[in-house]
Amino acid sequence: MIKVSLSYLRKNSKQTFTILFGIIFASMVLFCVGILFSSFREYLILKVAKENDFHVKIKGNLNGLYDKNIKSIKYLDSTYFIKFENIYNTYDLTDKICEEKECLEVIYNSKLLSLYGIGKNNYLDLFKELIFIIVFILAISVFFIIYNSFQISFSKKRKDIILFKAMGALNGQLYKMLLFEGLIYMVFGIFLGFGLSIFISYGIIGLINNLLSEVLGSNMGVYLYGPFIFIPLIFIILIVFLSALLPLFRLKKYKVMELFRFNRENNFFKSRFKNVILNFGLINYMRNKKKYKGLIICIFIIMLLFNFFYRLTDYTVKIMNEYVYIPSYDLKVISDMSDYSKLEGLAKNLSSSKETIYRSCSKLVYIPKENYNRGYKENMTVLVTDIGGNEVINLTDDIVSKNDKMVKVDYKIFNSLDKINISNNVIDGISLTDKIPFGFETELLEGRIILNLDKDKFDLVCPVYEGGALIKSDENNIDNKVLKYFKENNFGNVSYVNIKKVYEIMDNLVLLIKLFMYFSCFIVSLISVLTIFNIVSTNVKLRKREFASLKAFGLENFKINLCLFFESLIITGKGALYSFPFILLVSNFLYKNLGMFFEVNLKIFDIGLFVLNFIICFLLIYICMIFSHLSLYKNELIYNIKCDNV
């Protein structure tokens, strides 16, 4: 039986490649999840150990302490920093030490211990739960696709299995033969998939290191952690085992007498020939419901995944565009009074194309309620600057939290205002303006007004102030130039934010998330496409005598292709119909969950996207049918009409 299995795998190389390809790519995707989590955990361990290189630190009298389980011990500022040979014994060995010695205070390196799964705040268990959830979702997607491939392979063996039964083979022997084939697929698929996952992980982690080097601080490496690899492995074994086992339940239904029955495909000709063009697709679908289950499931998975990933990406981009405002400047610097005069030199040093150098202070102010356009507040904070004009910027453009939701507010604050009292100084001749100085777009906060005074009035209101600079520059190495300038000019209390770098990091992070989502969707879709092609080509080949008979009756190839067109339309329509309620559920889930945190105008369902998915899936099936039908042209008509029973 083993020789028969190996011989069958060699002879049906196309089918073998399709199943093996699905298992390899499923293994690669699932193992990649485990490897990436393993690498991230190891990165965190190295980072925490670098900052706090101990398992426990003890204050007290530990003179004469010796224990073979202690790897190293350091003494600094009346504190002992201890590392054990086995970190998992940290709590037990520490209790033992404190029983023998005088411990005044015991502090565990909880971050490091939690990464090893020790202690209350267990990061390791959290990682395992995340891996399980991600792998489970991906496993469900790939299971149906791999199962369909096994089912097609099993259907192709139908006549061979019946012949073996006629020769006296028992069901148990046939089970062993077919499960042995599944074992071969599983071993080779997992082995090759694991190798590819390591290769892909090196590429992904290299990309992460390049895009997020500023955030990480140090490069991540590729590491393997047993439990994180074991979880995907178990899922892969279950997927392949169930995919190979479930079709075998049909084995007992195969009877020896089926060898001598007339081919059921001829029942097609019981229908009236004059309706063949319009009814061919529906008749054939009704006759081959079981064969098309796998095809419908593939359509279902492709449409559901495509809609999910597209909607999630679309929602994320819309929320970011609406709630993440990118300032017009690249650098923001805040200094004390003594360093304010040096900020203009910094702008020149950076060859700024635009800049706003200003002084500012914050004050509380009372304004009569009749001046307010909306939302009266007795005490408002006023940001006073020396930009000039004696103007109040009459605009709020802010993101605030209301009822546990982030909401964007945009309104005019005052309906009129001609004077303002600040710190017992009445400033009159005030005008309202909508003009915003360069870089002040992010300063229009709710509960605060901005007053731009002339320099003499500013000196009167703000004897104590801080300096600010908003700079737009095309320089590449802003950080190096800024730090060098601070050092050369002896800046005291100063802080700065490289806005360009912050948003570059954010963009890179979003890009990585998108790449991961698209990569997962691409892999599942690729397996689905191959499965669709396999199912369609197999079905068309099984019907070669049917097509040949139609041609013998005078039906042209064009009309046969038109029949396949209707058939593809019915199959795609049923797959789309099944996916429709699930797409609604997924879209509603995303809408509600994102709507819990952000007030944003999102579509619950995009009919245009659904129609586009339908068209793509329909064309995919129809093209596969046409190509499979064209392959029959190579054979003579009489050859295709011959009975192919064993």
In this prediction, residue 359 has a pLDDT band, given cuts at 50, 70 and 90, of very high
| pLDDT value for 252 | 57
Q: Which residues contact 437 (CB under 8 A, 6 or more apart)?
A: 356, 358, 387, 452
User: Looking at residues 297-312, what average pLDDT do you find?
Assistant: 78
- Which tokens go with 339? 């360093």
Greatest alpha-carbon span in the chain: 109
In this prediction, residue 442 has a pLDDT band, given cuts at 50, 70 and 90, of confident
For residue 383, what are the β-bridge partners? 362, 450
Encode 451-516 in three state secondary structure: EECCHHHHHHHCCCCEEEEEEECCCCCHHHHHHHHHHHCCCCCEEEEEHHHHHHHHHHHHHHHHHH
Q: CA distances (Å), 390 to each of 274, 361, 393, 439, in order?
A: 88, 15, 10, 18
In this prediction, residue 360 has a pLDDT band, given cuts at 50, 70 and 90, of very high
- The domains located in the chain, with CATH, are 1-28+125-261 (no CATH), 53-108 (3.30.70), 262-323+503-646 (no CATH), 331-502 (no CATH)
588: left (phi over 0), alpha (psi -120 to 50) or beta: alpha
- Residue 409's CB is within 10 A of a number of other CB atoms, namely 14
| pLDDT value for 310 | 76
In this prediction, residue 264 has a pLDDT band, given cuts at 50, 70 and 90, of very low
pLDDT digits (tens, 9 = 90+) for 49-77: 887 888 888 888 777 777 778 888 888 87
- Which tokens go with 345? 């030199």
> Which of the residue ranges 1-10, 358-367, 424-433 has the most confident prediction, judged by mean pLDDT?
358-367
Contact of 201 with 36, CB cutoff 8 Å: yes
In this prediction, residue 552 has a pLDDT band, given cuts at 50, 70 and 90, of low
For residue 56, what are the β-bridge partners? 82, 108
User: Looking at residues 383-387, what average pLDDT do you find?
Assistant: 92
- Which tokens go with 256? 């020896």
User: Looking at residues 302-312, what average pLDDT do you find?
Assistant: 78
- Residue 621 φ then ψ, to 5°: -65, -45
Alpha carbon distance 479, 331 (integer Å): 9
Of the candidate ranges 433-447, 454-468, 561-575, the one whose mean pLDDT is the lowest: 561-575
- Which tokens go with 582? 């699930």
Contact of 189 with 18, CB cutoff 8 Å: no
Q: CA distances (Å), 391 to each of 383, 417, 446, 470, in order?
A: 12, 10, 18, 20
User: Looking at residues 89-116, what average pLDDT do you find?
Assistant: 83
Alpha carbon distance 22, 335 (integer Å): 60
- Which tokens go with 636? 């003579």
Label residues 316-330 b or e (16+ Cβ within 10 Å = b). Answer: bebbeeeeeeebbbb
- Whether the per-residue pLDDT at 623 is higher than 50: the answer is yes
Alpha carbon distance 581, 170 (integer Å): 45
Per cent of the chain over pLDDT 90 is 5
Pick the closest to residue 121 from 48, 185, 228, 215 (CA basis).
48
SS3 assignment, position 98: helix
**First vs last Cα of the chain: how many Å apart?**
20
Alpha helices by DSSP H, listed for 246-351, are 276-287, 289-323, 343-349
For residue 469, what are the β-bridge partners? 333, 357
Q: CA distances (Å), 278 to each of 122, 381, 567, 615, in order?
A: 63, 75, 10, 20
- Residue 502 φ then ψ, to 5°: -60, -45
Q: How many helices (H) and strands (E) does the chain have?
A: 19, 16
| pLDDT value for 385 | 93
Alpha carbon distance 390, 430 (integer Å): 5
User: Looking at residues 349-371, what average pLDDT do you find?
Assistant: 86
Alpha carbon distance 112, 114 (integer Å): 5
